[in-house]
Structure 1
Amino acid sequence: MTELWGLTLSTQARGVREGAFSAEELMRSVLDRIAQTNSQVNAFCTLNEHALAEARAADKALAEGTATGLLHGVPFSVKDLLPTAGLRTTLGSTAYANWIPDHDDVSVERMRTAGALLVGKTNTRELGYGIVTDNELFGPTRNPRKLGCTAGGSSGGSAAAVASGMGSISLGSDGGGSLRVPAALCGVFTLKPTFGAVPLYPSCRLPTKAGLGSWETLESVGPITRTVEDAALVLETIAGFDQRDRHSMPTDLRGLRAGLDDGVSGLRIAWSPRLGQADVDPELLELTTRAVNALDQAGLGCEIATVDPPIGDLHELRKVFATTVARDSDLAGLRELAGRYKVSEDIQDLVGRDWTAEAFAWAAMRRQLLYDVIRSFMTDWDLLITPTTATAAFPIGLREPEQTVAHDWSPFAFLFNLTGQPAASVPIGTTTDGRPVGLQIVGRRLADATVLRAARAFELLGMNGPNV
């Protein structure tokens, strides 16, 4: 019999509603799993000491007929970059080691409104700058599939928590791959939704604290789950307009689950294994190609062709991204922070450069050109598929592989933060030594449902590797 912590989010929510088990029993199961597992993985940095009391209150509400929503009584965790009212939010920085926010971020607020119960905060890279999870406060998060390796980042704590069964859902954020990279390395599912579909506030929108208001035009909040259906359920819950976020769009993602099994018939899918120029680990390239071929040969009615979008030079686009990150950052505040506290190498690199207005203008123009090229390309293609990363997980303590096949081990994810398109990472297997591999599925803007349908098709092919 599957332990309660090992059930999917959808099954947990249904079980609580139908009385198969109580919210308190479910919360105890998850907390026991955290107690057994977190010392090895270091996914959680702060636990909610009121979690059991809140679970008992949820059971009481259910008994009295005042249950609040579809996620009533289900535990969830939140990346430590997203503010949580009454629960410490450090942003992965010694500067904020004792900060307790007054307000939830919008997505957290909506999860609570739906009845979900916050179990704790997950480890992150300091202020989100970097795609491994390690910081001065809490140390590195380990990959639960390969403990000697990184979980990726900056939502590494969230990915590791879900991959190891410490909850079925964790909210993370993605400004340059920070959901997709750790999901791929840990063997779980995620979707970075269309930019603006899920509001952010106060994170990335309220620059009252250095670093909190960064990533404004790049960041999206999304779910990390073990199944596509669970991610769709969460997105139905957290998406939708909120005027506190000036980038928020009146996007209605309700009904995502209803269309999940509509399949991929009639879709035109571009498969670009290297974007025409990226260096990809040979075994990872073989695994991702095999997954795409399996979908092509499954007789599902889609058209798949190997084709590269004409994006231009990846090296230049990486500079565009770095410059955009700098333009979105409170450089003066971060420099002051770096003068008072020990900060990560990523932040040191950022504040150590002399950025110019001309560089910011160049990046903005080049970003617009990239968007136009991709938009034009995708008038002919419903989806673009690439590997999620160029390599699988590498040893803990490094910012990048020591003997990488590429100068850039994550060349695929950041592009779609620049364009704002929805992009998922679906697990499609493991290397011979057990390291998970992910496949990135990119859709047109606002076509989140199409991305989820394709991800569900891959999921049904059964290539997602080991379960918890």
Structure 2
Amino acid sequence: MEVLEDALDRIATLDGQLNAFCTLDIEGARAQATEVDRRIACGEQVGPLAGVPVGVKDLIATRGLLTTYGSRLYRRHVPSEDDVVVERLRGAGAVIVGKTNTSEFGYGAFGHNALFPTTRNPWDTGRTPGGSSAGSGAAVAANMVPLALGSDGGGSVRLPAALCGVYGIKPSWGRVPVYPGCRDDTLPGISSWESLEHIGPITRTVADAAIALSCMTGPTPRDRASLPSEFAAWAIAPPETLRGKHIAFSADLGWAVVDRKVRLACETAARRIEKTYGCTVEFAQPEIGDYGAAFETMVGMETDREGLRRMAAEQGVELKDWLARLLERKWTADEFTAAQFARKRVVNATWRFMERYDFFLTPTTACTAFDLELEGPANIEGQAVASNAWVAFSALGNFTGLPTASVPIGDQSASALPIGLQIMGRHLDDLGVLALSAAVESMYPPRLPPVSSARGWAT
């Protein structure tokens, strides 16, 4: 209960500035914490997350707790069941504090929607925290909770982790089951992204993410893509196991426009890894080209466009931003099939590339956090770019399903905006990604953002 009250005090102090949480369940959290304390006092067995305060992204179902998916279409929606991952966290003793803010249905890498105040970046409240797991990234960065859940269909765990200076990992596709989420046919909007969606933890440390994953993974009949429990424990291998590993690094995938500071920070990190841990780093990237159009088309194909239009018309609700453009576009069957085959080409090029390398490093984002209300920067390095150009690196992990994480690097000064290094591993090598993440973390210790009331907090 003391841990929970400390978290609630921090939320009360900071969330008026950051808007990380859209719905709090204070009494429910206190009841959960009381039960954990009772079990400990009675000498009963408790789980590995007993008493840990957790924020849950508002795209992830929580039984009996308002879950809006960031949309006015679901503004009064209270699920009758937990998502599988929430059910498992509760079983491990975690205390669900509340729901964290997201863009509408996650269709946008930012933190604003028509229901709740816009989520702000703890490093600079005039800048975006990224998204769509915006509230989860901001809540962990500001140390309101040590663990928050995000969902990731195109980078939505890793992007806010990078811009908020925390750790985020999208495990291999199928490691963490998803249901109801993108697999419930009765939920237009949320029943999308089925072949792309992942759920992953956002934490302040790699070790915390590993503990969370140990509780979240494993098969269930509710998700036909869920993987068997392969690991006895999600232990982080010591750094000496990285010696001799072959690592590829690309600052731009051969075509992306990347901010000079981001490019330099990521290249410096790659060279430090090589020197510190005895790895071999080569400048290389898979021959995949710009796959952004194919990715957008796949999202369009997996969206219940008819169901969303019907709900919007029935309720008189106007859908906005990227989602609105997706619904307005006139797609053809040929475009959908072409995107599927483009994805196959990207997947095949990537696995062939990864046969030569143990890991693939890139920036997580092409720039640091930009102005709050934008969907993306208007230009990078003086070059005009599309609004989604800053997310050039992230969707590769969703197309391929490969385990991919973002770990903070770069300038360690108190006011410097965070930069994320993206680490992609081979098929199902989640433990390898955690090991390399921990090695990078040891070179760039976690920082707290310069929010005035956060100064002096223990990590």
**TM-score for the superposition, normalised by structure 2:** 0.93
Percent same amino acid at aligned positions? 44
Q: Measure how far apart 1:337 and its partner are.
A: 3.4
CA deviation profile, 1:239-296 (whole Å, cap 9, x unmatched): 1111111111214244222525554112110011111111100111111111111112
Q: Are the counterparts in 2 of residues 431 and 437 from structure 1 also a CA contact under 8 Å?
A: no
Q: Which residue in 2 is equivalent to 1:333?
A: 307
What does 1:302-313 align with in structure 2 at a 5 Å threshold?
A: 302-311=279-288, 313=289
Residue 273 of structure 2: aligned partner: 295
For the pair 1:103 / 2:81, whether they are aligned, the reply is: yes
Q: Which amino acid aligns with 1:177?
A: G
Which stretch of the first structure deviates more once superposed, 289-298 or 333-342?
333-342
Deviation at residue 342 of structure 1 after TM alignment: 2.3
- Count of paired positions: 441
* Pairing 1:31–2:12 present: no
Instruction: Name the amino acid aligned to 1:399.
Output: E
SS in 1 for 2:380: coil
Q: For 1:375 and 1:47, how far apart are their aligned partners in 2?
A: 42
Give 1:351's aligned amino acid.
L
SS of the residue corresponding to residue 257 of structure 1 reads: coil
Segment of structure 1 superposing worse, 124-133 or 250-259: 250-259
Matched, 1:427 2:408: yes
Matched, 1:231 2:205: no
Name the counterpart of 1:241: 219
State yes or no: 1:449 paired with 2:427.
Answer: no
Secondary structure of residue in 2 paired with 1:66: coil
CA distance in 2: counterparts of 1:420 and 1:442, whole angstroms = 10
Instruction: After TM superposition, list the pairs within 5 Å mapping 1:274-423 onto structure 2.
Output: 274-298=252-276, 300-311=277-288, 313-314=289-290, 317-339=291-313, 340-405=316-381, 406-407=385-386, 408-423=389-404
Q: Is the 8 A contact 1:430 1:465 kept in 2?
A: no
State the Cα RMSD in Å: 1.5
Query: Structure 2 CA distance, aligned partners of 1:254 and 1:35?
Result: 39
Shift of 1:338: 3.8
1:421–1:258 distance in 2 versus 1, CA, 3 Å: closer
More divergent stretch after superposition (395-404 vs 33-42): 395-404
For 1:337 and 1:154, locate their aligned partners in 2 and report how far apart those are by CA, in whole Å. 22
Cα separation, partners in 2 of 1:463 and 1:428, compared to 1, 3 Å: farther
For 1:193-226, what per-residue CA distance to the aligned partner results, in whole angstroms no more than 9, with x for missing partners? 1011110000011021211211100000000000
CA deviation map 1:111-130 (0-9, x unaligned): 00011110110000100101
**1:459 aligned to 2:441?**
yes
Residues in 1 aligned to 2:318 and 2:11: alpha-carbon distance in whole angstroms = 29
CA contact (8 A) 2:165 2:408 kept: yes
Match in the other structure for 2:154: 176
- Alignment correspondent of 2:457: none
1:50 maps onto 2:28 in alignment: yes
Post-superposition CA distance 1:376-432 (Å, at most 9, x none): 011010000000000100011111113334431110001110111110000003498
Which amino acid in structure 1 is aligned with residue 218 of structure 2? G
Does the 8 A contact of 1:152 with 1:393 survive in 2? yes
d(CA) in 2 for partners of 1:366 and 1:460?
38
Return the alpha-carbon distance in structure 1 between the equivalents of residues 448 and 81 of structure 2: 38
Match for 1:212: what amino acid?
A: I
Measured in 2, the distance between the counterparts of 1:465 and 1:119 equals 23
SS at match of 1:204: helix
Letter in 2 for 1:397: E
Unaligned 5+ segments in structure 2 are 455-459
The one-letter code of the counterpart of 2:197 is E
Q: CA separation in 2, counterparts of 1:391 and 1:232?
A: 27
Structure 1: gaps spanning 5 or more residues:
1-23
Contact kept? 2:54, 2:94, Cα under 8 Å: yes
Q: Does 1:124 align with 2:102?
A: yes
Q: TM-score when scaled to structure 1?
A: 0.92
Give the counterpart letter for 2:369 in structure 1. A
Q: How does 1:122-271 map onto structure 2 within 5 Å?
A: 122-259=100-237, 261-271=239-249
Cα 1:50–1:184, aligned 2, differ >3 Å: closer, same or farther?
A: same
